[in-house]
Amino acid sequence: MKTLTHWIGGKPVESVSGRFGAVYDPATGEQEKQVGFATVDEVDAAVASAKDAFGSWGASSLARRTAILFKYRELLDVHREEIAGLITAEHGKVHSDALGEVARGMEIVELACGISVQLKGELSTQVSTRVDVASIRQPLGVVAGITPFNFPAMVPMWMFPLAIACGNTFVLKPSEKDPSASLRLAELASEAGLPDGVLNVVQGDKVAVDHLLEHPDVEAVSFVGSTPIAKYIQLKAVEHGKRVQALGGAKNHMLVLPDADLDLAADQAVNAAYGSAGERCMAVSVVVAVGDTGDALVAKIAERAKNLRIGPGDDPASEMGPLITREHRDKVASYVSSAAEQGAEVVVDGTGHTVDGHETGFFLGVSLLDRVPLTADAYRDEIFGPVLAVVRAESYDEAVKLINDSRWGNGTAIFTRDGGAARRFQLEVKAGMVGVNVPIPVPVGYHSFGGWKDSLFGDLHIYGSDGVAFYTQGKVITTRWPDPADAGINLGFPSHS
């Protein structure tokens, strides 16, 4: 069986821990590979390699850094099919979706190619007689990234391209469930000319994560994953004096007003709820039907949901692939039965769905629940699978209150033809990313990504200008070139003249 390695100092390094994680092909349910989990010493080696590399990388010219990033972008373009193939093989999502993931990750590499513009400082001349003030931003040093299973290429690329463009060096701890894409991303970065040690990958579990959080040479931590772990990461990183941004889970509501185009809304609800088997932090998991739209909308969603083609991700005919593991598939299915017991109407039941020839794969059909009580587990928990809940609200105000009462605030969307209502929604809703007739409003690379409430712990969002701020620290330089006229003793506090 193939054993996946770390990537430290520009080369593959095998773990000696003797501890391994299983990497499955979710479409067959077979374990295809194993990944060695890092020891504390192996994490130390990765951090030491990053620390060594920081000396020259942090001082390297913007021209050199961006030349490597442009080359990296070209290599990613050439290898996008191959990277998508690695994603599908270990995550299970369909190939077209995996290609989309690579493209959205490459957006951040493209943003990083223009880092020279974003790192331009500010200069104020003659703030006082013969005195100038300049503000510049400098890299932090070694920074770490810890990423989830659901976007094994895109989420790492939300982090390291900007971090290294800013002059930092990076240690990535990818999800142990689908680690190959990260390794390939690191290999290609070396091929593009990135010096050894600037980008390292350590594989592992809590042992590796905890050591990164405690390590005195790690200056900052970017995390993306579930809410309980995000909270933990923030607390532990702060305890150890680190800068931290920790993006957590979600429960994204899509509000449909009575004047919306219901066919369009139904199409978008199906795409956003069941795409990638619902394993997206920006998936729509709740539709809030306002007024008398509910019955018609549920019927339209059900009709579409029943016709989705579920199958292996490498079959071009498949629209939805399997879930990540057997345990996760079974947990998702349990929400459909608990919802029925807790008062919801099960309109489409996808539990028990099998795919011919792939009976042992981690497949689940899609489910649609209507009139889900707000007290039901299926409403309260993040399910992270192909289960869409519909709740009814009598008015716009009731619908917005319901969204604002949710503990999460990652993304949300409104479907309407009423510009005034859409504008009110943008201002009143408590979520970090809002779509107007756009169901999955993941911001483009040059606008930052992040949620509110239990969807983000920390201050700065990820990538875009927040990303640059996160990976740099400000310095302000006040300069005066001496002139004989300035001579003399003055113990007063500096003031302007």
Q: What secondary structure does DSSP assign to 89-108, as a single string?
A: HHH---HHHHHHHHHHHHHH
Complex with ligand NAD: residue 223 or 396, whichever CB lies closer: 223
Output the smallest distance, CB 450 to ligand NAD, in A.
Answer: 7
Residue sitting closest to ligand NAD (CB): 225
- Distance (Å) of CA 35 to CA 201, 202, 213, 215: 12, 10, 21, 23
The closest of 352, 321, 407, 381 to 389, measured between CA atoms, is 381
Q: Around 288, how many Cα atoms within 13 Å sit in the side-chain half-sphere? A: 26
Nearer to ligand NAD, 176 or 187 (CB): 176
Bridge partners (DSSP) listed for residue 125: none
Closest CB to ligand NAD among 282 and 393? 282
Considering beta carbons, is residue 361 or 450 the nearer one to ligand NAD?
450
Cβ atoms within 10 Å, residue 459: 12
Contact letters (x/-) for ligand NAD, 136-155, by CB under 6 A?
A: ----------xxxxxx---x
What is the pattern of x (binds ligand NAD, CB under 6 A) and - over residues 235-254? ------------xxxx----
Which residue's CB is nearer to ligand NAD, number 159 or number 260? 159
Is-catalytic flag, 113?
no
Distance CA 187, CA 10 (A): 8
Q: How far is the CB of 442 from ligand NAD (least distance, A)?
A: 9
- Min CB(413)–ligand NAD separation in Å: 16
**Of the residues 189, 230, 277, 281, which is catalytic?**
281
Mask: binding to ligand NAD, 159-188, rule CB under 6 A, as x and -? --------------x-xx------------
Can you spell out the DSSP letters for 267-288? HHHHHHHHGGGG--TT-EEEEE
Of the candidate residues 187, 382, 454, 466, the single one contacting ligand NAD (CB under 6 A): 382
Footprint of ligand NAD on residues 257-286 (CB under 6 A)? 281
Token pair of 303 as six digits:
């009709």
Residue type, 327: E
> Which amino acid makes up residue 354?
T
Rule CB under 6 A: choose which of 161, 167, 197, 225 binds ligand NAD: 225
Does residue number 222 form part of the binding site for ligand NAD (CB under 6 A)? no
Cα 415 to Cα 421: distance, rounded to the nearest angstrom: 10
**Min. distance of Cβ 210 from ligand NAD in angstroms?**
6
Place of tokens 């005919």: 317
**Quick one: which segment of 63-71, 112-120, 202-210, 433-441 binds ligand NAD (CB under 6 A)?**
202-210
Report CA 294 to chain centroid distance, whole Å: 32
Q: Yes or no: say if 387 and 278 are a contact pair by the CB < 8 Å rule.
A: yes
- Residue 442 DSSP one-character state: P
Q: Just list the catalytic residues.
A: 281
Name the residues that contact ligand NAD, by CB under 6 A: 146-151, 155, 173, 175-176, 205-206, 209, 224-226, 229, 247-250, 281, 382, 384, 410, 451, 455
